[in-house]
Chain A
Amino acid sequence: MLEVQNLVVKYGAVQAVKGNSFAVREGEIVSILGANGAGKSSTLFGVAGMIDTRGKLFSKDVVEGKIVFQGQDISDYSNSKRVKMGLILCPEGRRNFPELTIKENLKMGAYCRGDFNKKIDFVYSLFPRLKERQIQLANSLSGGEQQMLAIGRSLMSDPVMLMLDEPSLGLSPVLIDEVFAVLVKLKEKGIPILLVEQNAIRSLKISDRAYILETGKIVHEDKAQTILNDEKLKKAYLGL
Protein backbone atom coordinates (compact mmCIF):
# COMPACT_ATOMS: atom_id res chain seq x y z
CA MET A 1 0.00 0.00 0.00
CA LEU A 2 2.59 2.54 1.20
CA GLU A 3 6.29 2.10 0.86
CA VAL A 4 8.80 4.68 1.99
CA GLN A 5 12.49 4.49 1.21
CA ASN A 6 15.20 6.61 2.81
CA LEU A 7 12.92 9.39 3.97
CA VAL A 8 14.88 12.44 5.12
CA VAL A 9 13.26 15.55 6.59
CA LYS A 10 15.40 18.55 7.43
CA TYR A 11 14.36 21.87 8.90
CA GLY A 12 17.31 24.08 8.14
CA ALA A 13 20.29 22.54 9.89
CA VAL A 14 18.11 20.27 12.03
CA GLN A 15 17.69 16.81 10.59
CA ALA A 16 14.41 15.56 12.02
CA VAL A 17 14.18 12.30 10.04
CA LYS A 18 17.41 10.63 9.03
CA GLY A 19 16.84 8.31 6.11
CA ASN A 20 14.15 5.89 7.23
CA SER A 21 12.49 3.13 5.23
CA PHE A 22 9.19 1.62 6.25
CA ALA A 23 6.00 0.21 4.79
CA VAL A 24 2.30 -0.19 5.50
CA ARG A 25 0.51 -3.14 3.89
CA GLU A 26 -3.16 -3.68 3.07
CA GLY A 27 -5.42 -3.88 6.09
CA GLU A 28 -2.68 -3.19 8.61
CA ILE A 29 -2.40 -0.88 11.57
CA VAL A 30 1.25 0.14 11.90
CA SER A 31 2.52 2.16 14.83
CA ILE A 32 5.45 4.51 14.92
CA LEU A 33 6.67 4.81 18.50
CA GLY A 34 9.27 6.96 20.11
CA ALA A 35 9.94 9.76 22.54
CA ASN A 36 9.06 13.39 22.06
CA GLY A 37 11.13 14.92 19.28
CA ALA A 38 12.09 11.55 17.85
CA GLY A 39 10.81 12.64 14.44
CA LYS A 40 7.43 10.91 14.40
CA SER A 41 5.37 13.90 13.33
CA SER A 42 8.00 14.94 10.82
CA THR A 43 7.82 11.47 9.29
CA LEU A 44 4.08 11.83 8.78
CA PHE A 45 4.52 15.37 7.46
CA GLY A 46 7.02 14.09 4.94
CA VAL A 47 4.74 11.29 3.77
CA ALA A 48 1.71 13.59 3.52
CA GLY A 49 3.59 16.18 1.49
CA MET A 50 3.05 18.87 4.10
CA ILE A 51 6.47 20.40 3.74
CA ASP A 52 6.26 22.29 0.49
CA THR A 53 9.40 24.06 -0.59
CA ARG A 54 8.66 24.54 -4.25
CA GLY A 55 9.04 28.10 -5.43
CA LYS A 56 10.15 29.26 -2.00
CA LEU A 57 13.40 31.11 -2.29
CA PHE A 58 14.55 31.15 1.31
CA SER A 59 13.14 27.90 2.55
CA LYS A 60 15.78 25.74 4.16
CA ASP A 61 13.49 22.76 4.65
CA VAL A 62 14.28 19.61 2.74
CA VAL A 63 12.35 16.40 2.12
CA GLU A 64 14.17 13.57 0.36
CA GLY A 65 13.44 9.94 -0.30
CA LYS A 66 11.06 7.83 -2.32
CA ILE A 67 7.42 7.43 -1.36
CA VAL A 68 5.36 4.86 -3.24
CA PHE A 69 1.63 4.78 -2.64
CA GLN A 70 -0.56 2.19 -4.34
CA GLY A 71 2.26 1.38 -6.70
CA GLN A 72 2.70 5.00 -7.75
CA ASP A 73 5.76 7.11 -6.97
CA ILE A 74 4.28 10.14 -5.24
CA SER A 75 7.54 11.69 -4.00
CA ASP A 76 7.07 14.77 -6.15
CA TYR A 77 3.33 15.15 -5.64
CA SER A 78 1.86 18.15 -3.87
CA ASN A 79 -0.21 17.73 -0.74
CA SER A 80 -3.41 18.18 -2.79
CA LYS A 81 -2.45 15.41 -5.18
CA ARG A 82 -1.67 13.04 -2.35
CA VAL A 83 -5.01 13.82 -0.69
CA LYS A 84 -6.74 13.20 -4.01
CA MET A 85 -5.18 9.73 -4.08
CA GLY A 86 -6.64 9.05 -0.65
CA LEU A 87 -3.51 9.38 1.50
CA ILE A 88 -4.97 11.31 4.41
CA LEU A 89 -3.26 12.75 7.49
CA CYS A 90 -5.07 13.59 10.68
CA PRO A 91 -2.50 15.96 12.20
CA GLU A 92 -1.31 16.42 15.75
CA GLY A 93 -3.19 19.08 17.69
CA ARG A 94 -6.39 18.54 15.68
CA ARG A 95 -5.91 21.56 13.45
CA ASN A 96 -9.61 22.21 12.98
CA PHE A 97 -10.77 25.54 11.62
CA PRO A 98 -11.90 27.29 14.81
CA GLU A 99 -14.18 29.87 13.22
CA LEU A 100 -15.89 27.62 10.73
CA THR A 101 -18.94 25.63 11.77
CA ILE A 102 -18.62 21.92 12.33
CA LYS A 103 -20.44 21.25 9.11
CA GLU A 104 -18.13 23.58 7.23
CA ASN A 105 -15.14 21.87 8.80
CA LEU A 106 -16.42 18.54 7.55
CA LYS A 107 -17.14 20.05 4.17
CA MET A 108 -13.50 21.08 3.97
CA GLY A 109 -12.63 17.45 4.66
CA ALA A 110 -14.28 16.64 1.37
CA TYR A 111 -12.50 19.51 -0.38
CA CYS A 112 -10.38 17.35 -2.67
CA ARG A 113 -11.90 13.95 -2.43
CA GLY A 114 -14.98 12.18 -1.15
CA ASP A 115 -18.63 12.85 -1.69
CA PHE A 116 -19.87 15.13 1.08
CA ASN A 117 -23.44 13.88 1.06
CA LYS A 118 -22.47 10.22 1.10
CA LYS A 119 -19.76 10.51 3.72
CA ILE A 120 -21.50 12.87 6.11
CA ASP A 121 -23.95 10.23 7.31
CA PHE A 122 -21.15 7.79 8.00
CA VAL A 123 -19.23 10.36 10.04
CA TYR A 124 -22.33 11.45 11.93
CA SER A 125 -23.12 7.81 12.68
CA LEU A 126 -19.61 7.37 14.11
CA PHE A 127 -19.76 10.61 16.07
CA PRO A 128 -23.38 11.48 16.79
CA ARG A 129 -22.33 14.44 18.92
CA LEU A 130 -20.98 16.22 15.86
CA LYS A 131 -24.39 15.98 14.25
CA GLU A 132 -26.09 17.56 17.24
CA ARG A 133 -23.78 20.55 17.04
CA GLN A 134 -23.24 20.86 13.32
CA ILE A 135 -24.07 24.55 13.07
CA GLN A 136 -21.86 25.58 15.96
CA LEU A 137 -18.37 26.97 15.51
CA ALA A 138 -15.60 24.45 15.99
CA ASN A 139 -13.99 26.48 18.77
CA SER A 140 -17.06 25.89 20.93
CA LEU A 141 -16.30 22.16 21.14
CA SER A 142 -14.59 20.41 24.04
CA GLY A 143 -11.18 18.79 23.56
CA GLY A 144 -12.61 15.33 22.98
CA GLU A 145 -15.18 16.59 20.51
CA GLN A 146 -12.48 18.52 18.69
CA GLN A 147 -10.53 15.31 18.26
CA MET A 148 -13.62 13.62 16.90
CA LEU A 149 -14.12 16.46 14.50
CA ALA A 150 -10.53 16.11 13.32
CA ILE A 151 -10.92 12.38 12.75
CA GLY A 152 -14.31 12.94 11.19
CA ARG A 153 -12.84 15.53 8.85
CA SER A 154 -10.17 13.05 7.78
CA LEU A 155 -12.83 10.42 7.13
CA MET A 156 -14.75 12.88 4.95
CA SER A 157 -11.85 12.62 2.51
CA ASP A 158 -12.72 8.94 2.04
CA PRO A 159 -9.23 7.76 2.96
CA VAL A 160 -7.57 4.90 1.15
CA MET A 161 -5.00 5.03 3.90
CA LEU A 162 -5.15 7.05 7.09
CA MET A 163 -2.27 8.51 9.10
CA LEU A 164 -3.04 9.68 12.61
CA ASP A 165 -0.75 11.80 14.74
CA GLU A 166 -1.37 11.53 18.48
CA PRO A 167 -5.12 11.01 18.31
CA SER A 168 -5.37 10.32 22.05
CA LEU A 169 -3.40 13.36 23.22
CA GLY A 170 -5.17 15.23 26.01
CA LEU A 171 -8.22 13.01 26.08
CA SER A 172 -9.86 11.37 29.09
CA PRO A 173 -9.52 7.56 29.37
CA VAL A 174 -13.13 7.06 28.29
CA LEU A 175 -12.59 9.12 25.18
CA ILE A 176 -9.32 7.35 24.43
CA ASP A 177 -11.25 4.07 24.44
CA GLU A 178 -13.73 5.57 22.07
CA VAL A 179 -11.05 6.81 19.66
CA PHE A 180 -9.24 3.50 19.61
CA ALA A 181 -12.54 1.69 19.05
CA VAL A 182 -13.09 3.87 15.99
CA LEU A 183 -9.62 3.00 14.69
CA VAL A 184 -10.35 -0.71 15.01
CA LYS A 185 -13.64 -0.17 13.20
CA LEU A 186 -11.81 1.57 10.36
CA LYS A 187 -9.35 -1.28 10.13
CA GLU A 188 -12.25 -3.69 9.84
CA LYS A 189 -13.52 -1.58 6.97
CA GLY A 190 -10.21 -2.26 5.26
CA ILE A 191 -8.53 1.10 5.75
CA PRO A 192 -4.86 0.67 6.67
CA ILE A 193 -3.65 3.00 9.38
CA LEU A 194 -0.24 4.49 10.16
CA LEU A 195 -0.46 5.53 13.79
CA VAL A 196 1.83 7.80 15.78
CA GLU A 197 1.21 7.64 19.50
CA GLN A 198 2.82 8.52 22.80
CA ASN A 199 0.58 5.98 24.43
CA ALA A 200 2.71 3.04 23.30
CA ILE A 201 0.88 0.23 25.08
CA ARG A 202 -2.52 1.25 23.81
CA SER A 203 -1.38 1.62 20.24
CA LEU A 204 0.61 -1.64 20.26
CA LYS A 205 -2.50 -3.45 21.42
CA ILE A 206 -4.40 -2.56 18.26
CA SER A 207 -1.39 -2.57 15.90
CA ASP A 208 -0.08 -5.33 13.71
CA ARG A 209 3.45 -4.04 13.48
CA ALA A 210 5.48 -1.19 14.92
CA TYR A 211 8.58 0.84 14.19
CA ILE A 212 10.57 2.41 16.98
CA LEU A 213 12.13 5.78 16.23
CA GLU A 214 15.02 7.30 18.13
CA THR A 215 16.35 10.76 17.31
CA GLY A 216 15.15 10.58 13.74
CA LYS A 217 16.28 7.04 12.98
CA ILE A 218 14.31 3.78 13.00
CA VAL A 219 16.12 1.59 15.51
CA HIS A 220 13.77 -1.35 15.68
CA GLU A 221 10.99 -2.97 13.70
CA ASP A 222 8.84 -5.83 14.89
CA LYS A 223 5.41 -7.34 15.27
CA ALA A 224 3.42 -5.36 17.80
CA GLN A 225 2.76 -8.48 19.84
CA THR A 226 6.47 -9.27 20.07
CA ILE A 227 7.29 -5.84 21.38
CA LEU A 228 4.45 -5.99 23.90
CA ASN A 229 5.79 -9.27 25.28
CA ASP A 230 9.45 -8.30 25.29
CA GLU A 231 10.24 -6.53 28.55
CA LYS A 232 13.80 -5.73 27.45
CA LEU A 233 12.69 -4.02 24.28
CA LYS A 234 10.05 -2.05 26.07
CA LYS A 235 12.53 -0.93 28.65
CA ALA A 236 15.26 -0.10 26.20
CA TYR A 237 13.26 1.91 23.75
CA LEU A 238 9.98 2.89 25.27
CA GLY A 239 10.93 3.46 28.87
CA LEU A 240 8.17 1.18 30.09
Chain B
Amino acid sequence: MLLIIQGILSGIPAGVTYGLMGFSIALIFRTTGVMNFAIGHCGMMGVFFGWMILGFTNSLPLAILSGVVFGWILGVVIERFLMRPINNMSHGGMLIITLGLLFIFTDAAMLIWGTEAYPFPEIYAGAPLIFNTSAQPIIISANDVALTIVGLVLSVILALILGYTKIGIASRARAQDVIGARVVGINTDRIDMIAWSAGIAIAVIVGFLVAPKESVQPNMLLNLLIFGLVACVLGGFGSPFGAIAGGLVLGVLEKVATVFVPVDYRLAIILFIVIAVLVLKPSGIFAKHVKTRA
Protein backbone atom coordinates (compact mmCIF):
# COMPACT_ATOMS: atom_id res chain seq x y z
CA MET B 1 0.00 0.00 0.00
CA LEU B 2 2.74 2.39 0.98
CA LEU B 3 4.56 1.48 -2.18
CA ILE B 4 1.55 2.49 -4.14
CA ILE B 5 1.31 5.82 -2.32
CA GLN B 6 5.00 6.37 -2.92
CA GLY B 7 4.40 5.47 -6.54
CA ILE B 8 1.56 7.94 -6.86
CA LEU B 9 3.52 10.71 -5.19
CA SER B 10 6.58 10.22 -7.33
CA GLY B 11 4.43 9.69 -10.41
CA ILE B 12 2.78 13.09 -10.19
CA PRO B 13 5.88 15.21 -10.95
CA ALA B 14 6.73 12.98 -13.90
CA GLY B 15 3.10 13.06 -14.98
CA VAL B 16 3.07 16.86 -14.91
CA THR B 17 5.93 16.99 -17.39
CA TYR B 18 4.31 14.35 -19.64
CA GLY B 19 1.06 16.26 -19.43
CA LEU B 20 2.61 19.58 -20.35
CA MET B 21 4.37 17.96 -23.26
CA GLY B 22 1.08 16.45 -24.33
CA PHE B 23 -0.53 19.86 -23.88
CA SER B 24 1.88 21.46 -26.30
CA ILE B 25 1.41 18.67 -28.86
CA ALA B 26 -2.37 18.87 -28.51
CA LEU B 27 -2.39 22.66 -28.66
CA ILE B 28 -0.60 22.70 -31.99
CA PHE B 29 -2.50 19.73 -33.33
CA ARG B 30 -5.91 20.99 -32.34
CA THR B 31 -5.32 24.48 -33.65
CA THR B 32 -3.40 23.80 -36.84
CA GLY B 33 -4.01 20.13 -37.60
CA VAL B 34 -0.31 19.29 -37.60
CA MET B 35 1.07 16.54 -35.40
CA ASN B 36 4.47 17.89 -34.52
CA PHE B 37 6.86 14.99 -34.02
CA ALA B 38 9.69 17.48 -33.65
CA ILE B 39 8.20 19.17 -30.59
CA GLY B 40 10.68 17.55 -28.20
CA HIS B 41 13.60 18.68 -30.29
CA CYS B 42 12.19 22.18 -30.68
CA GLY B 43 12.07 22.30 -26.87
CA MET B 44 15.61 20.95 -26.69
CA MET B 45 16.88 23.80 -28.87
CA GLY B 46 15.36 26.29 -26.44
CA VAL B 47 16.90 24.51 -23.46
CA PHE B 48 20.32 24.52 -25.09
CA PHE B 49 19.97 28.22 -25.78
CA GLY B 50 19.00 28.84 -22.16
CA TRP B 51 21.88 26.67 -20.99
CA MET B 52 24.24 28.79 -23.06
CA ILE B 53 22.86 31.96 -21.49
CA LEU B 54 23.26 30.32 -18.09
CA GLY B 55 26.93 29.86 -18.87
CA PHE B 56 27.30 33.55 -19.70
CA THR B 57 25.24 35.05 -16.91
CA ASN B 58 24.96 32.42 -14.20
CA SER B 59 21.39 33.48 -13.71
CA LEU B 60 18.85 30.63 -13.81
CA PRO B 61 15.74 32.84 -14.24
CA LEU B 62 17.38 34.72 -17.09
CA ALA B 63 18.43 31.44 -18.68
CA ILE B 64 14.91 30.04 -18.49
CA LEU B 65 13.39 33.27 -19.78
CA SER B 66 15.75 33.47 -22.73
CA GLY B 67 15.18 29.80 -23.53
CA VAL B 68 11.43 30.32 -23.58
CA VAL B 69 11.76 33.42 -25.76
CA PHE B 70 14.02 31.47 -28.10
CA GLY B 71 11.39 28.74 -28.30
CA TRP B 72 8.72 31.34 -29.06
CA ILE B 73 10.76 32.81 -31.90
CA LEU B 74 11.49 29.32 -33.22
CA GLY B 75 7.74 28.75 -33.33
CA VAL B 76 7.25 31.96 -35.31
CA VAL B 77 9.92 30.94 -37.79
CA ILE B 78 8.61 27.40 -38.25
CA GLU B 79 5.05 28.54 -38.69
CA ARG B 80 5.77 31.42 -41.01
CA PHE B 81 8.39 29.88 -43.23
CA LEU B 82 7.62 26.18 -43.19
CA MET B 83 4.12 25.38 -42.08
CA ARG B 84 2.15 28.26 -43.59
CA PRO B 85 3.44 27.73 -47.12
CA ILE B 86 2.42 24.08 -47.04
CA ASN B 87 -0.77 24.30 -45.05
CA ASN B 88 -2.77 22.36 -47.59
CA MET B 89 -0.50 19.34 -47.61
CA SER B 90 -1.59 15.81 -46.73
CA HIS B 91 -1.13 14.28 -43.28
CA GLY B 92 1.61 12.04 -44.58
CA GLY B 93 3.54 14.97 -45.99
CA MET B 94 3.21 17.00 -42.79
CA LEU B 95 4.32 14.01 -40.75
CA ILE B 96 7.46 13.60 -42.81
CA ILE B 97 8.22 17.32 -42.63
CA THR B 98 8.15 17.31 -38.83
CA LEU B 99 10.26 14.14 -38.78
CA GLY B 100 12.71 15.96 -41.01
CA LEU B 101 12.78 18.83 -38.52
CA LEU B 102 13.49 16.34 -35.75
CA PHE B 103 16.55 15.09 -37.61
CA ILE B 104 17.73 18.60 -38.44
CA PHE B 105 17.45 19.85 -34.88
CA THR B 106 19.24 16.80 -33.49
CA ASP B 107 22.23 17.39 -35.67
CA ALA B 108 22.09 21.16 -35.48
CA ALA B 109 22.38 20.84 -31.71
CA MET B 110 25.25 18.40 -32.08
CA LEU B 111 27.04 20.73 -34.47
CA ILE B 112 26.56 23.79 -32.32
CA TRP B 113 26.85 22.41 -28.82
CA GLY B 114 28.49 19.02 -29.22
CA THR B 115 27.33 15.55 -28.28
CA GLU B 116 28.10 15.71 -24.58
CA ALA B 117 25.41 15.64 -21.91
CA TYR B 118 25.67 18.78 -19.83
CA PRO B 119 24.34 19.03 -16.28
CA PHE B 120 21.65 21.54 -15.49
CA PRO B 121 20.72 22.91 -12.05
CA GLU B 122 17.45 22.02 -10.38
CA ILE B 123 14.95 24.82 -10.08
CA TYR B 124 14.76 24.28 -6.34
CA ALA B 125 17.52 22.31 -4.68
CA GLY B 126 16.33 21.89 -1.12
CA ALA B 127 16.32 18.94 1.23
CA PRO B 128 13.86 16.19 0.28
CA LEU B 129 10.60 15.91 2.18
CA ILE B 130 10.43 12.76 4.24
CA PHE B 131 7.25 11.42 5.78
CA ASN B 132 7.90 8.80 8.39
CA THR B 133 5.32 6.08 8.42
CA SER B 134 5.18 2.90 10.43
CA ALA B 135 6.76 0.70 7.82
CA GLN B 136 8.82 2.71 5.43
CA PRO B 137 9.40 6.44 4.93
CA ILE B 138 7.91 8.17 1.91
CA ILE B 139 10.44 10.40 0.21
CA ILE B 140 9.71 13.27 -2.11
CA SER B 141 12.49 15.37 -3.55
CA ALA B 142 12.18 19.10 -3.13
CA ASN B 143 12.76 19.69 -6.83
CA ASP B 144 9.87 17.38 -7.62
CA VAL B 145 7.61 19.46 -5.41
CA ALA B 146 8.81 22.65 -7.07
CA LEU B 147 8.41 21.05 -10.49
CA THR B 148 4.86 19.98 -9.72
CA ILE B 149 3.97 23.44 -8.46
CA VAL B 150 5.49 25.11 -11.53
CA GLY B 151 3.72 22.66 -13.81
CA LEU B 152 0.37 23.04 -12.14
CA VAL B 153 0.62 26.84 -12.00
CA LEU B 154 1.51 26.85 -15.68
CA SER B 155 -1.51 24.64 -16.41
CA VAL B 156 -3.80 27.00 -14.52
CA ILE B 157 -2.39 30.00 -16.37
CA LEU B 158 -2.86 28.24 -19.68
CA ALA B 159 -6.39 27.29 -18.67
CA LEU B 160 -7.17 30.90 -17.85
CA ILE B 161 -5.68 32.13 -21.11
CA LEU B 162 -7.51 29.58 -23.24
CA GLY B 163 -10.74 29.92 -21.32
CA TYR B 164 -11.17 33.62 -20.77
CA THR B 165 -8.92 35.85 -22.85
CA LYS B 166 -10.03 37.03 -26.24
CA ILE B 167 -7.07 35.42 -27.97
CA GLY B 168 -7.65 32.17 -26.08
CA ILE B 169 -11.30 31.96 -27.09
CA ALA B 170 -10.32 32.92 -30.63
CA SER B 171 -7.85 30.05 -30.78
CA ARG B 172 -10.54 27.63 -29.65
CA ALA B 173 -12.89 29.16 -32.19
CA ARG B 174 -10.31 28.68 -34.95
CA ALA B 175 -9.87 25.06 -33.94
CA GLN B 176 -13.61 24.44 -34.07
CA ASP B 177 -14.47 26.15 -37.35
CA VAL B 178 -11.98 27.86 -39.61
CA ILE B 179 -14.55 29.49 -41.86
CA GLY B 180 -16.50 30.73 -38.85
CA ALA B 181 -13.29 32.17 -37.43
CA ARG B 182 -12.42 33.93 -40.66
CA VAL B 183 -15.84 35.53 -41.12
CA VAL B 184 -15.63 37.21 -37.74
CA GLY B 185 -12.27 38.61 -38.74
CA ILE B 186 -9.94 36.32 -36.81
CA ASN B 187 -6.54 36.25 -38.47
CA THR B 188 -6.18 32.48 -38.56
CA ASP B 189 -2.57 32.60 -39.67
CA ARG B 190 -1.69 34.60 -36.60
CA ILE B 191 -3.57 32.24 -34.33
CA ASP B 192 -1.64 29.36 -35.87
CA MET B 193 1.60 31.20 -35.30
CA ILE B 194 0.72 31.79 -31.66
CA ALA B 195 -0.19 28.12 -31.24
CA TRP B 196 3.16 27.05 -32.64
CA SER B 197 5.05 29.56 -30.55
CA ALA B 198 3.17 28.82 -27.35
CA GLY B 199 3.44 25.08 -27.96
CA ILE B 200 7.19 25.22 -28.44
CA ALA B 201 7.63 27.62 -25.50
CA ILE B 202 5.81 25.11 -23.28
CA ALA B 203 8.05 22.36 -24.61
CA VAL B 204 11.06 24.47 -23.66
CA ILE B 205 9.70 24.85 -20.13
CA VAL B 206 9.22 21.08 -19.94
CA GLY B 207 12.79 20.77 -21.11
CA PHE B 208 14.02 22.98 -18.28
CA LEU B 209 11.95 20.99 -15.79
CA VAL B 210 13.45 17.67 -16.81
CA ALA B 211 16.93 18.99 -17.61
CA PRO B 212 18.37 18.13 -14.17
CA LYS B 213 17.33 14.48 -14.68
CA GLU B 214 17.93 14.03 -18.40
CA SER B 215 20.89 16.43 -18.71
CA VAL B 216 21.15 18.88 -21.57
CA GLN B 217 21.79 16.81 -24.71
CA PRO B 218 20.33 16.61 -28.21
CA ASN B 219 17.95 13.74 -27.50
CA MET B 220 16.98 14.88 -24.00
CA LEU B 221 13.31 15.21 -24.91
CA LEU B 222 12.95 12.22 -27.24
CA ASN B 223 11.40 10.06 -24.54
CA LEU B 224 9.22 12.94 -23.46
CA LEU B 225 7.98 13.26 -27.03
CA ILE B 226 6.80 9.66 -26.86
CA PHE B 227 5.32 10.16 -23.38
CA GLY B 228 3.67 13.37 -24.55
CA LEU B 229 2.12 11.56 -27.49
CA VAL B 230 0.96 8.84 -25.12
CA ALA B 231 -0.54 11.47 -22.80
CA CYS B 232 -2.42 12.83 -25.80
CA VAL B 233 -3.63 9.38 -26.74
CA LEU B 234 -4.94 8.84 -23.22
CA GLY B 235 -6.46 12.29 -22.89
CA GLY B 236 -7.54 12.77 -26.47
CA PHE B 237 -5.82 14.93 -29.03
CA GLY B 238 -8.79 17.22 -29.18
CA SER B 239 -8.32 18.76 -25.77
CA PRO B 240 -5.11 20.12 -24.33
CA PHE B 241 -6.38 19.64 -20.79
CA GLY B 242 -7.26 16.06 -21.52
CA ALA B 243 -3.58 15.70 -22.39
CA ILE B 244 -2.55 17.05 -18.98
CA ALA B 245 -4.88 14.61 -17.26
CA GLY B 246 -3.57 11.87 -19.54
CA GLY B 247 -0.02 12.80 -18.58
CA LEU B 248 -0.79 12.58 -14.90
CA VAL B 249 -2.44 9.18 -15.35
CA LEU B 250 0.56 8.01 -17.35
CA GLY B 251 3.08 9.29 -14.77
CA VAL B 252 1.29 7.64 -11.88
CA LEU B 253 0.66 4.46 -13.86
CA GLU B 254 4.33 4.27 -14.77
CA LYS B 255 5.48 4.47 -11.16
CA VAL B 256 2.72 2.37 -9.65
CA ALA B 257 3.19 -0.28 -12.31
CA THR B 258 6.62 -1.01 -10.91
CA VAL B 259 4.89 -2.45 -7.87
CA PHE B 260 3.20 -5.08 -9.98
CA VAL B 261 5.41 -5.75 -12.98
CA PRO B 262 9.17 -6.00 -13.40
CA VAL B 263 10.49 -2.48 -13.54
CA ASP B 264 12.25 -2.95 -16.86
CA TYR B 265 9.14 -4.09 -18.67
CA ARG B 266 6.88 -1.31 -17.47
CA LEU B 267 7.41 0.87 -20.54
CA ALA B 268 6.75 -1.90 -23.00
CA ILE B 269 3.58 -2.84 -21.13
CA ILE B 270 2.37 0.75 -20.92
CA LEU B 271 2.95 1.21 -24.64
CA PHE B 272 0.92 -1.88 -25.43
CA ILE B 273 -1.86 -0.50 -23.23
CA VAL B 274 -1.61 2.74 -25.18
CA ILE B 275 -2.01 0.96 -28.49
CA ALA B 276 -5.08 -0.73 -27.07
CA VAL B 277 -6.53 2.62 -25.95
CA LEU B 278 -5.74 4.18 -29.31
CA VAL B 279 -7.46 1.38 -31.15
CA LEU B 280 -10.48 1.12 -28.87
CA LYS B 281 -11.08 4.79 -28.20
CA PRO B 282 -9.11 7.11 -30.47
CA SER B 283 -10.66 10.19 -28.89
CA GLY B 284 -9.06 9.38 -25.55
CA ILE B 285 -10.32 7.88 -22.32
CA PHE B 286 -11.58 11.20 -20.97
CA ALA B 287 -13.51 12.31 -24.01
CA LYS B 288 -17.27 12.21 -23.67
CA HIS B 289 -18.00 11.31 -27.24
CA VAL B 290 -15.93 9.65 -29.89
CA LYS B 291 -14.95 12.06 -32.60
CA THR B 292 -14.07 11.00 -36.08
CA ARG B 293 -10.61 9.67 -36.51
CA ALA B 294 -8.81 11.67 -39.08
Against A, the Cβ 8 Å flags (1 = close, 0 = not) of B68-93 are: 00000000000010001111110000
Q: Which residues of A contact B126 (CB under 8 A)?
A: none
Query: Is there an interface contact between A57 and B179, defined as CB atoms closer than 8 Å?
Result: no
Against B, the Cβ 8 Å flags (1 = close, 0 = not) of A90-116 are: 110011111110001001110111000
* Contact residues, B148-202 vs A (CB, 8 A): 166, 169-170, 172-173, 176-177, 179-189
> Of the candidates B88, B177, B187, B189, which one forms a contact with A95 in the assembled complex, judged by CB atoms under 8 Å apart?
B177
- Interface class of chain B by DSSP: helix
> Of the candidates A48, A82, A94, A111, which one forms a contact with B170 in the assembled complex, judged by CB atoms under 8 Å apart?
A111
> Of the candidates A55, A80, A100, A104, which one forms a contact with B186 in the assembled complex, judged by CB atoms under 8 Å apart?
A80
Q: Which residues of A contact B80 (CB under 8 A)?
A: 55
Q: Which residues of B contact A104 (CB under 8 A)?
A: 169, 173
Q: Which residues of B contact A56 (CB under 8 A)?
A: 84-88
Query: Is there an interface contact between A89 and B183, defined as CB atoms closer than 8 Å?
Result: yes
Given A55-B84, A107-B169, A99 contacting B185 (CB threshold 8 A):
no
Query: Is there an interface contact between A100 and B169, defined as CB atoms closer than 8 Å?
Result: yes
Q: How far is the CA of A80 from the CA of B177 in the complex (A)?
A: 16
Query: Is there an interface contact between B176 and A112, defined as CB atoms closer than 8 Å?
Result: no
Q: Which residues of B contact A109 (CB under 8 A)?
A: 184
Q: How far is the CA of A84 from the CA of B185 in the complex (A)?
A: 7
Task: Say if the beta carbon of A187 comes within 8 Å of chain B.
Answer: no
Given A48-B183, A79-B182, A108-B186, A59 contacting B88 (CB threshold 8 A):
yes
> Of the candidates B89, B172, B179, B187, which one forms a contact with A50 in the assembled complex, judged by CB atoms under 8 Å apart?
B179
> Of the candidates B176, B180, B187, B189, which one forms a contact with A55 in the assembled complex, judged by CB atoms under 8 Å apart?
B189
Task: Say if the beta carbon of A213 comes within 8 Å of chain B.
Answer: no
- Interface class of chain A by DSSP: loop
Q: How far is the CA of A84 from the CA of B181 in the complex (A)?
A: 14
Q: How far is the CA of A59 from the CA of B84 in the complex (A)?
A: 10
Q: How far is the CA of A88 from the CA of B183 in the complex (A)?
A: 7
Query: Is there an interface contact between A100 and B184, defined as CB atoms closer than 8 Å?
Result: no
Query: Can you list 30 A-B pairs with a CB-CB distance of less than 8 A?
Result: A50-B179, A52-B188, A52-B189, A55-B80, A55-B84, A55-B85, A56-B84, A57-B85, A58-B85, A59-B88, A78-B187, A82-B185, A83-B183, A89-B183, A91-B179, A95-B180, A95-B183, A97-B173, A97-B181, A99-B172, A100-B173, A104-B173, A108-B169, A108-B173, A108-B184, A109-B184, A111-B186, A112-B186, A113-B185, A153-B184
Interface residue ranges, B against A (CB under 8 Å): 80, 84-89, 166, 169-170, 172-173, 176-177, 179-189
